[in-house]
Amino acid sequence: MHPLLLANHLIMLAGGIDGDKRPLSGSEKWGVTLVGLGVVIAALAILVVVIMLFGKIFDQINKSQRPKSPPPAKPKPKPASTPAKPSAPVKAKPAPTVPVPDSSNSENEEEVIAVISAVVAMMSEQDGKTYRIKSVAKSRNTSLSNRSAWAMDGRRQNVKPF
Amino acid sequence: MLQILQDILGGLWETSGLAGLAADPMKLLMMCVSFLFMYLAIVRKFEPLLLLPIAFGMFLSNLPAVLPEDMIFHAEYWNEQQSVDWLWKVLHDGGLLDKLYLGVKLQIYPCLIFLGIGTMTDFGPLIANPKSFLLGAAAQGGIFFTFLAAGYMGMSAAECGSIAIIGGADGPTSIYVSSKLLDGANSNLNTGTIALAAYTYMALVPVIQPPIMRFLTTEEERKIKMPQLRTPSKTEKIVFPVVVTLIVALLVPSAAALVGMLMFGNILKESGVAGRLVDTAQNALMNIVTIFLGVSVGATCTASNVANWDFIKVLILGVIAFSLGTACGLLLAKFMNWLSGGKINPLIGSAGVSAVPMAARISQQEGAKADPTNFLLMHAMGPNVAGVIGSAVAAGVLLSVINY
């Protein structure tokens, strides 16, 4: 088919082809095929560019946000006086405060801090908020027969159904 | 007295189903076909959620009845020019399945199904690898090359478009396009037969695609392992449906209804704040629409619609469309693999046809056959969901170009 004839028919396609019982002419068939495929590829190629662009923008935003919060794996615990407290509220129900072992057992202390940091990092990933661990301190709450916070929480869960 | 009794009995016989069966014995044949479909669905478990409603719809519409008011479905209504008077006639005189079929004819069911699909689709792999959009676009080649083939068989524009869209491997899109283009006056085809062919080929994805995939790829290509995709953030997943809807609506407004509902369902899911709506859309609503769609599409399978040369042409061109779509996706994936220096497994290209998630599953299976440690599923899901968007855009293009 002559390219000019095809181009002419492509321009006519802008007005649409009648869907009646008339068989299609050669240029109409080729016109719809080429224009159709071209438009679909062009539309999705635009989406490729836009989504790639968005991906880059979001990557930049995420990168610029990261340095603002210190990595959760390396918290700097303050002296034991201040209770552990996240910078933003985590849940309506407060998490039990974890008692830290004696300062003489520094290896255990580091392990506990690492576990707390990992849990906070996981929470941060789940709800998209950034948390900062300001301190990890030994609980002073001994009013409930010296039970640990975990033991108290386990007990509370067991009795809750009743 | 005897004469009166004879008249009454004669009248009863003339209006009975037995007289209807005697007048149109083809109904018996179609009922037997419906029993075969029921057997396949119940005993062989062959797509039972869809096939059983279709089979029972076929059975109901082929029940013999002489009086029009006794008929559950009137095939003749759907071959008439559609107008306001026609709509009133369907609502006033039509049977139950006629009224349910209005959901197909008025493009309500396809859009609601797209809403449900949106709530079940994770566009994460596509956001992580946006180049997958190109594979979804290439696979739509099957639609347009079949349009060409149908044109050379002497069909009208409306018929060519309605048959070609089967190549998108997307049942709701096929119904959407054919219900708009075919109005009974311009064709011997109807939406029911197009839908039947489309769903038949979608069920046959595991049979049609693997030979083409093995023919167009080498063993070495099938063994290519692709690196793990990044995980998009929640914000990206929420922005994605809005951006896609906006761009598609700006470029191809005719596709806005389908893409819009798909993306509406997706934003409900990704926002995480509309759990109840997501639950309804992907379970209750989807099931209700599937029942209505299946039983009313099955009802269109009357002898006059199915036992003719036009339906055979639809079946032949439908399988050509499907195969060409698979081949186009594979060939572009091969080309992208060559450009990337062997980093893309061409098997993910066949998933560009939008039979979600079957086509992606076939890519995974074929990749695992070549190398059991090859996991292509998530890589194939990108082109697969891009294919859903691509077929909706292709539908919009056909509806824009063909006047209906």
Contact B333, B376 (CB under 8 A): no
Whose CA is closest to B183, among B83, B96, B301, B302?
Answer: B83
Please check whether residues B49 and B147 belong to one and the same domain. no
Please check whether residues B388 and B253 belong to one and the same domain. yes
The average pLDDT across B161-168 equals: 92
pLDDT of A146 over the 60 cut: no
Global pTM exceeds 0.80:
no
Chain B nearest CA to A16, separation (Å) = 5
Contact B30, B58 (CB under 8 A): yes
The average pLDDT across B351-376 equals: 89
pLDDT of A5 over the 70 cut: no
Contact B337, B345 (CB under 8 A): yes
Band of pLDDT at residue B284, cut at 50, 70 and 90: very high
Q: Which residue among A28, A48, A66 closes a domain? A: A66
Tokens of B360: 């992606």
A36 has a chain B CB within 8 A of its CB: yes
Please check whether residues B142 and B41 belong to one and the same domain. no
B186, B236, B240 ranked by CB distance to A19: nearest:
B186
Tokens of B385: 């969901």
- What pLDDT sits at residue B214? 95
- What pLDDT sits at residue A114? 85
pLDDT of A40 over the 70 cut: yes
- What pLDDT sits at residue B174? 92
Please check whether residues A14 and A78 belong to one and the same domain. no
Band of pLDDT at residue A107, cut at 50, 70 and 90: low
Please check whether residues A153 and A87 belong to one and the same domain. yes
Band of pLDDT at residue A70, cut at 50, 70 and 90: low
Q: What is the Cα–Cα distance from B101 to B79, expressed in whole angstroms?
A: 13
Whose CA is closest to B117, among B321, B237, B289, B1?
Answer: B289
Q: Which residue among A66, A100, A115 closes a domain? A: A66
B23 or B380, greater pLDDT: B380
Please check whether residues B54 and B179 belong to one and the same domain. no
Q: What is the Cα–Cα distance from A11 to A27, expressed in whole angstroms?
A: 11
B227 or B278, greater pLDDT: B278
- In a domain? residue B86: no
Please check whether residues A116 and A42 belong to one and the same domain. no
Tokens of B40: 């396949």
B271 or A112, greater pLDDT: B271
Q: What is the Cα–Cα distance from A15 to B89, expressed in whole angstroms?
A: 33
B47 or B301, greater pLDDT: B301
Peptide bond into A83 cis (omega under 30): no
Chain A nearest CA to B392, separation (Å) = 9
Number of domain units in chain B: 2
The average pLDDT across B387-393 equals: 94
- In a domain? residue B211: yes
**What range does the domain containing B62 cover?**
27-68+92-99
Test A18 with B145 for CB contact under 8 angstroms.
Answer: no
Band of pLDDT at residue A127, cut at 50, 70 and 90: confident
Please check whether residues A58 and A102 belong to one and the same domain. no
Q: What is the Cα–Cα distance from A76 to A113, expressed in whole angstroms?
A: 9
3-state secondary structure of A94: coil
pLDDT of B190 over the 90 cut: no
Please check whether residues B55 and B201 belong to one and the same domain. no
Whose CA is closest to B395, among B122, B123, B111?
Answer: B111
Q: How far is CA A77 from the centre of its chain?
A: 28
Q: Which residue among A66, A81, A104 closes a domain? A: A66
B131, B154, B247 ranked by CB distance to A50: nearest:
B247
A11 has a chain B CB within 8 A of its CB: no
Band of pLDDT at residue B188, cut at 50, 70 and 90: confident
Q: Which chain B residues touch A36 with a CB distance below 8 Å?
A: 143-144, 147, 394, 397-398, 401
Q: What is the Cα–Cα distance from B299 to B16, expressed in whole angstroms?
A: 20
Tokens of A118: 């990992």
pLDDT of A74 over the 60 cut: no
Beta bridge partners of A17: B402
- What pLDDT sits at residue B354? 81
Other Cβ atoms within 10 Å of A33 Cβ, number: 21
Contact B326, B142 (CB under 8 A): yes
| pLDDT tens digits, B235-266 | 999 999 999 999 999 999 999 999 999 999 99
CA-based nearest residue in chain B for residue A31: B148
Whose CA is closest to B387, among B126, B192, B64, B159?
Answer: B126
The average pLDDT across B20-31 equals: 84
B187, B233, B235 ranked by CB distance to A21: nearest:
B187
CA-based nearest residue in chain A for residue B391: A40
Q: Is B168 exposed, middle or buried (0-12, 13-18, 19+ CB in 10 A)?
A: buried
The average pLDDT across A36-53 equals: 93
| pLDDT tens digits, B71-84 | 889 888 887 777 88
B231 or B112, greater pLDDT: B112
Whose CA is closest to B168, among B195, B192, B206, B207?
Answer: B195
Contact A103, A157 (CB under 8 A): no
Test B389 with A44 for CB contact under 8 angstroms.
Answer: yes
pLDDT of A24 over the 90 cut: no
Tell me the residue type at B365: Q
- In a domain? residue B270: yes
Please check whether residues A115 and A60 belong to one and the same domain. no
**What range does the domain containing A18 cover?**
3-66
Please, what is the end-to-end C-alpha distance for chain A in angstroms? 84
pLDDT of B390 over the 70 cut: yes
B20 or A54, greater pLDDT: A54
- What pLDDT sits at residue B165? 93
Q: What is the Cα–Cα distance from B120 to B285, expressed in whole angstroms?
A: 13
Q: Which chain A residues touch B131 with a CB distance below 8 Å?
A: 48
Number of domain units in chain A: 2
Please check whether residues A112 and A151 belong to one and the same domain. yes
Average pLDDT taken over every residue of chain B: 90
Tokens of B255: 């596709």
| pLDDT tens digits, B105-122 | 899 999 999 999 999 999
- What pLDDT sits at residue A81? 47
Q: Are strands A17-18 and B402-403 parallel, antiparallel or unpaired?
A: parallel
- What pLDDT sits at residue B147? 93
Whose CA is closest to B359, among B223, B232, B213?
Answer: B213
* Measured CA angle at B46 (ends B43, B49), to 5 deg: 100
pLDDT of A90 over the 50 cut: no
Please check whether residues B249 and B303 belong to one and the same domain. yes
Beta bridge partners of B156: A23
Q: Which of A42-46, A76-80, B136-140, B241-245 has the lowest mean pLDDT?
A: A76-80
Q: Which chain A residues touch B270 with a CB distance below 8 Å?
A: none
Band of pLDDT at residue A99, cut at 50, 70 and 90: very low
Chain A nearest CA to B266, separation (Å) = 16
Half-sphere exposure of B248 (CA within 13 A, CB side): 30
Distance set, CA A6 to CA A90, B114, B125, B154, B403 (Å): 65, 36, 39, 19, 20
Test B403 with A18 for CB contact under 8 angstroms.
Answer: yes
Half-sphere exposure of B185 (CA within 13 A, CB side): 10
